[in-house]
Structures are given as structure tokens and as C-alpha cells.
Amino acid sequence: MKILNSNEFDNAIASGIVLVDFYADWCGPCKMLSPVIEGLAEKMEQVNFYKLNVDASSDIAGRYGVQAIPNLIIFKDGKAVDQITGFVPENEIVKHLQNLL
């Protein structure tokens, strides 16, 4: 799964349904959530999945008010339409995504 930087972010979320996993390398729950997100990326081809390191791209994290991680933000055609904070099971993430498909 591609890790976005600040320069790539706006282009990556511009069209379609995109889930961005806001994370940090030192975050335990982020490490637990990562394989869940990677599994979903393989199953749900109609959604684009990305990761964004909040330490390396604090400007983007600030733009979306990310204060707790892991934080999943779902975008549709460039606009944030849903957000999930903290570790959640796969089926919960799927529910949020299916509402947009």
C-alpha cells in the first residue's frame, strides 16, 4: 500500500472513493490496524487505499484535524465524507465503505 507524502495527497484523493490511514510508526494500534487495511485493499478494488504518516505530513493531518491515531478518513471525489478513529474490526470499516459504493 502506497504511503503518501504531502505533495501527493491532494492528487491521490481527487477522484473516486479513497480511504487514507493516518498513522505513525510508533503507534501500537496503528500497527495492529495496518494488516486489516492491507487485507481490505486486496478485497475492495473499487476503493483506493493509502497511508499517511502524521509525523512526516503534519500539515495534512492538521488540515483534517487528526489528533488521535489510527485515524481513517474516507474521501469521495476529494471531499472527506467519513472518519473512523481508533482500532476497529474489518467489518466496521467495510460498513462505512459500503455506504459510499
Q: Which of 12, 13, 20, 27 is catalytic?
A: 27
Residue type present at position 26: W
- Count CB-CB contacts under 10 A for residue 77: 11
31 is catalytic: no
Residue found under cell 495534512: 60
Active site residue 30: yes
Which candidate in 30, 37, 69, 72 is catalytic?
A: 30
Residue for grid cell 472513493: 17
Tell me which DSSP letter residue 70 carries: S
Active site residues: 27, 30
